[in-house]
Amino acid sequence: MRMYDVITAKKRGLELTDDQIAYVVKGFTAGEIPDYQMSALLMAICLKGLNMRETTTLTLEMAKSGDMLDLSAIRGIKADKHSTGGVGDKTTLIVAPIVASLGIPVAKMSGRGLGHTGGTIDKLESIPGFRTTIPADEFIRNVNEMKLAVAGQSANLAPADKKMYALRDVTATVDNISLIASSIMSKKLASGANVIVLDVKTGSGAFMKTFEDSAALAEAMVTIGNNCGRRTYAIITDMNQVLGRYVGNWLEVREAIDILKGQGDEELRLVSITLASYMILGCGVAASLDEARTLAENAITSGAAFAKFREFVERQSGDVRFIDDPASMTAADFEVPVYAPCDGFISEINAEEVGMASLLLGGGREKKEDSVDPLVGLRVDLKVGDKVKAGQLLGVLYADDEARIEAAKERFAGAFRYTGESVNAVPPIYAYVDENGVHKV
């Protein structure tokens, strides 16, 4: 088999066979296929496309290119969730303890943030002492004993994806639904869960800016997951404004604690409850989505979800004094209010710009090797559709470096758009996706 022939076939719009796809993934991962030939194939795929069989095969081969986590030692049906990335997205910190408190094993590998999107591992590491690197036997023991463990992606998961993405990033071949779906799902399949729930963001702060693109990606990933024997669901959620009220690692942990205690932002609560409900449904603990939702809500009102979060933090060596009393954490040095310049209605809050403001304060990474300040970030006091008066508080920046404040303040203030006409509020959830397709709310 020759790479030249594979490139030619796709250039002509022909379907690639399973053997051809396996040959490409194995050869490229092993360094036997040069970058220039792989780049040519990726461009041909972007121009001619992959059908669902090709996409599923590509995903499986990428998943098999590295470690396939063996979770068979964990008793029961394992659940996992994945978000395509957003601003203020702390749902894992809420969803995982809700689900685990109901006896469902949640064995989750999470990543760090890059750019304007925060990472779950960064948020957890803002808790003093919390260990995100734990041995495999301890990881499995924790899930068996308390149904929850979250660790950094130390395993060699889907190395083919890492190599392919590096090429896609510099050859203008990122924005292809099949390639995006296979990239995400290859790591989810390698992570070993039986049930996968996907939170696909859409809007200004998301990778996919339009509902149509988000729906296409969600449907492709759900189909891949189900084709590979994993019960898979997706919800398409809004990222045209911050999810919740806070952006920043420790600030988001505090907000997650509020939700687990039955307080906090209602839209964040709704998205978290919905994600948890699909995990509960997929694992067979509830017979219907309504029943699953009731179980998730009861886990919060009874205190079981917060108790599970506290147990989880303690088990991974986090200092639970700050979970019991979040206000005791040292605050950032500067609190900088930002005010509205005019009367009107909020017509837009560009979530990406809000995220960039937090990054400028030191709460995110421009490069993978950058460090993050766990205490900095911001609070957003208004949402799209809110009526505002000149001089009204838009939010607050929390900073440790005075030199960073002005640039972040300008970026944050510029994220807001105003109009003289009333504006409808933005719905937090647009659609659900299952094996039968996309269902708008």
Give SS3 for 64.
coil
What DSSP character marks residue 327? G
Pairing of strands 344-349, 387-388: antiparallel
Could you give the C-alpha distances from 6 to 41, 169, 351, in angstroms and in order? 8, 22, 41
Exposed/middle/buried for 170, CB within 10 Å: 0-12, 13-18, 19+?
exposed
What DSSP character marks residue 361? I
- Output the CA angle 398-402-408, nearest 5 degrees: 60
Could you give the C-alpha distances from 395 to 136, 168, 335, 345, in angstroms and in order? 42, 37, 10, 15
Q: What is the mean pLDDT of the chain?
A: 94
Picking from 111-120, 316-325, 406-415, which range would have the lowest pLDDT averaged per residue? Answer: 111-120
pLDDT category, 155, cuts 50, 70, 90? low
Tens of pLDDT, residues 91-145: 999 999 999 999 999 999 887 765 566 689 999 999 999 999 999 899 999 999 9
- Give the contacts of 169 (CB within 8 A, at least 6 positions apart): none
Q: What is the mean predicted confidence (pLDDT) over 247-262?
A: 97
Residue 373: per-residue pLDDT: 92
pLDDT at 174 over 80: yes
Q: Give the active site residues.
A: 82, 161, 168, 183, 187
pLDDT at 152 over 90: no
Q: What is the mean predicted confidence (pLDDT) over 358-371?
A: 82
How far, in Å, CA of 293 to CA of 89, rounded? 20
- Output the CA angle 309-314-320, nearest 5 degrees: 80
pLDDT at 366 over 80: no
Q: What are the strands of the beta sheet with 344-349, ordered from one edge?
A: 387-388, 344-349, 416-419
Name the amino acid, one letter, at 231: R
Residue 415: per-residue pLDDT: 97
Q: DSSP letters along 370-388, please?
A: ----TT-EEEE---TT-EE
Q: DSSP letters along 11-25, please?
A: HTTPPPPHHHHHHHH
CATH, domain range 332-419: 3.90.1170.30
H helices of 157-263, in order, are 159-170, 177-190, 211-227, 249-260
Residue 236: per-residue pLDDT: 98
Picking from 65-79, 330-344, 375-389, which range would have the lowest pLDDT averaged per residue? Answer: 65-79
Tens of pLDDT, residues 284-305: 999 999 999 999 999 999 999 9
pLDDT at 343 over 70: yes
pLDDT at 402 over 90: yes
Residue 117: per-residue pLDDT: 64
Residue 111: per-residue pLDDT: 76
Residue 386: per-residue pLDDT: 97
Which token pair is 252?
A: 């988001």
H helices of 283-328, in order, are 289-301, 304-315, 321-324
Tens of pLDDT, residues 186-215: 999 998 999 999 999 999 888 899 999 999
CATH topology of domain 3-49: 1.20.970
Domain positions in the chain are 3-49, 79-324+430-440, 332-419
H helices of 76-192, in order, are 91-101, 120-125, 136-146, 159-170, 177-190
pLDDT category, 394, cuts 50, 70, 90? very high
Report phi then psi at 433, rounded to 5: -130, 125
HSE, CB side, 13 Å, CA atoms: give it for residue 356. 16
HSE, CB side, 13 Å, CA atoms: give it for residue 249. 27
Picking from 6-20, 38-52, 59-73, which range would have the lowest pLDDT averaged per residue? Answer: 59-73
More confident: 155 or 330:
330
Give SS3 for 5.
helix
The CATH number corresponding to 79-324+430-440 among 3.90.226.10, 1.10.10.10, 2.30.110.10, 3.40.1030.10 equals 3.40.1030.10
How far, in Å, CA of 5 to CA of 2, rounded? 5
pLDDT category, 309, cuts 50, 70, 90? very high
Residue 75: per-residue pLDDT: 95
pLDDT at 365 over 90: no
Residue 156: per-residue pLDDT: 83
What are the beta bridge partners of residue 344? 388
What DSSP character marks residue 89? -
